[in-house]
Structure 1
Amino acid sequence: MTHVNLMNNYFNPNLVYTKKDFRRLFWMRCHVFERVLCDVQQVNPYFRQKRDKAGLSGFSPYKKVTVALQMMTYGSSAESMIETHGMSKSTFLETLQQFCVTIVQVYKDEYLRKPNQEDLDRLLRKAEDRGFPGMIRSLDCMYWDWKNCPTK
């Protein structure tokens, strides 16, 4: 998928696919993708648009973030994406590695930490509103009695 196709399909004003299609493919809303893209570009120059020695544009930041997310989301191997994205295996792997390192660097303080009391209260309220009171300590459901629980 070229940069132009990617932009026309998902990001330009007259996009081919709907927001629902975007969410199904990327497992996130478009504005979240755009925020992640902006954040990784600010922190890591790897995700900024560059030109090679011949003056040609390298892979776009949109494409780099897209392939990293697709590899993580679907467990796609670099080999399986070569034809559709036109990157080499080593570029796929470098992109994924750069993306993961950058995501941890950018979001570790906000999202990759133990929950505080405010977080726990918010999660408890959300779970209770959905009919699951007290779910924080039983997220794995091991404390539930299942009437038809399969046993060995």
Structure 2
Amino acid sequence: MGESSRKCGYKRKQKDRERIVGAERLYKDYFTDSPVYNEKDFRRRFLMRRSLFLRIVEALQMNVSYFIQQRDATGMFGLSSLQKVMAAVPLLVYDVAGDVVDEYLRIGASTALECLKIFCRAVYDIFSEQYLRQLTREDVARLTAENARRGFLGMLGSIEFASKDLWIWHTYFGVPGCNNDINVLEGSNLFLNLAKGEVPPVRFEVNGNEYNMRYYLADSIYPSWASFVKTISRPLSQKHRTFARYQEGVRKEVERAFDVLQARWHIVRGPSR
């Protein structure tokens, strides 16, 4: 509807969405001292605690001017911080079209999608340093102790879970690169610091032999690196069958966390709208 529309005298009609009414209703429904919908309702609908939601809102307000409520050219208040963040969360949780939130939040589809994009980038910028950081000595000690109880000394986890975790951040939070698990893994710094020797040491003993390299459980699709302990695809002996059963069981146990993530955040399941 560009130049041709203007020549024909077409003028896009602006909707009066009464955004202030939407902001007031949202606040009354969920964020007053005595909200219409309680904590249980909030967590069931948005799959996070209200306290976590408000923590994210506060962090966004402190770091991104977009999430600070401002006045428009006419002096009217624009969308509130709660409206903008609440526009993004349902799109992530339910993987729905942008105009789904219009009727309740009084936000058009294009604005809702803008909120989603800025929200994802901001969350990555603010929280990646803490939650995508390299493992500390304390992290390594905790993980290896947990996995030793499962029968795998020196094991940090499943590489498939780690690569999927990186794939999510690369794909949905705006980090450039291919979204193939192995491509993301090879382009990440997950093993870069290991190659440089800049990782907390792991020492364990098996059958009288001492080892100092941490490792991940993997299946046959991954390369034959010393840091990967793969299953045995065609075990012949009882010893090999036992190992394969334990390796595959523990690997799947670790991966269930990703399955929970997919169940809670539908946008992770596949290409988004």
- TM-score category, normalised to shorter length: 0.7 to 0.9
SS at match of 2:249: coil
Asked if 1:5 is matched to 2:25, the reply is: yes
Question: What residue is the counterpart of 2:80 in the other structure?
Answer: 60
Moved more, 16-25 or 59-68: 16-25
Q: Is the 8 A contact 2:60 2:122 kept in 1?
A: yes
1:71 and 2:91 aligned: yes
Aligned to 1:144: 249
Q: Is the Cα–Cα contact under 8 Å of residues 19 and 29 in structure 1 kept in the other structure? A: yes
Aligned 1:38-117 pairs, distance under 5 A: 38-117=58-137
Change (3 A) 1:133 1:22: farther
Q: Which runs of 5+ in 2 are unaligned?
A: 1-20, 162-216, 218-246, 253-273
**CA, structure 1 residues 27+121, in 2 after alignment: closer, same or farther (shift >3 Å)?**
farther
- The 3 A distance-change label for structure 1 pair 76 and 133 is farther
**Structure showing greater Rg:** 2
List gaps (5 residues or longer) in structure 1. 147-152
Instruction: Give the structure-2-normalised TM-score.
Output: 0.46
Asked whether the equivalents of residues 124 and 133 of structure 1 are also in contact (C-alpha less than 8 Å), the reply is no
Helix, strand or coil: the match of 1:144?
Answer: helix
Identical-pair percentage: 31
1:28 is matched with 48
- Residue type of the alignment partner of 1:60: S
Alpha-carbon contact 2:43-2:50 (below 8 Å) kept: yes
Q: TM (normalized to structure 1)?
A: 0.79
Distance 2:61 2:142 in 1: 31
Shift of the 40–132 alpha-carbon distance from structure 1 to 2, 3 Å rule, reads farther
* Residue 150 (structure 1) aligns with: none
Residue 76 of structure 2: SS of its match in structure 1?
coil
**Cα offset for 1:60?**
0.5
Report if the CA contact (8 A) 2:23-2:105 is conserved. no
* Cα RMSD for the two superposed structures: 2.7
Higher strand share: 2
Instruction: Tell me how far apart the structure 2 counterparts of residues 25 and 52 of structure 1 sit (CA, whole Å).
Output: 31
Q: Which moved more, 1:37-46 or 1:83-92?
A: 83-92
Q: CA deviation at 1:93?
A: 1.2
Q: CA deviation at 1:51?
A: 0.7
Shift in alpha-carbon separation, 1:24–1:132, aligned structure 2, 3 A: farther
